[in-house]
Amino acid sequence: MNAKRGAYRLRAVLLLLVVLHFTLRPWLGDPRPAPDFLVLALLVYALRARPGGAAVAGFTIGLLGDALTPVAFGAGALAHTVVGYLAAWGKAIFFAENLAVNAGFFFAGTWVRDLLVLVGGGHVQGTELVWQLLLWSPLKAATTALVGVMVLLIFRRWLAIRITE
């Protein structure tokens, strides 16, 4: 019964992040430095999933995001799939019980996702690509990491995550 309740709580947190992505994020102004709640939902799921399940979740989230950006359709699905797989695999190596490690985990996952979407989509080139990768993507990754740490602190018991300082 307790494991079932934990699964419902995880789903509730993930659903909240997806809803925030489509409701709160547009109100934050410029979308380039705004936190990416979809990637955050994927990375929170990857903390508790196996690589195959995280890859499937990444593909699903990528298709959901790609439905709104038909210019580079498929690049987001591929990027989210790769990030989900690597995040679930990487958490087995790095024991993410520290807030700084989790923040780095969220930062790296968001930045790698942006890198894969920008390079794979091919719709951004030249100096705009450099600016995106060296300025806007790290800013988005930092805000996503900050929100991710807040989510872990607020929903620590719901997500059954041990965090040491």
Phi and psi angles of residue 39, each rounded to the nearest 5 degrees, phi first? -65, -40
- Half-sphere exposure (Cβ direction) of 18: Cα atoms closer than 13 Å: 15
Record the pTM.
Answer: 0.90
pLDDT band at 1 (very low <50, low <70, confident <90, very high): very low
User: In this structure, what token pair is assigned to residue 156?
Assistant: 């620590």
Q: What is the pLDDT of residues 79-105, one digit of tens each?
A: 999 999 999 998 777 766 788 889 999
Domain ranges of the chain: 2-159
The correct CATH number of 2-159 out of 3.40.50, 1.10.3470, 3.40.1000, 1.10.1760 is 1.10.1760
The residues pairing with 4 across neighbouring beta strands, listed in sequence order, are none
How far apart, in Å, are the Cα atoms of 99 and each of 30, 60, 61, 74, 123? 27, 27, 25, 32, 35
| Distance from C-alpha of 31 to C-alpha of 159, rounded to nearest angstrom | 28
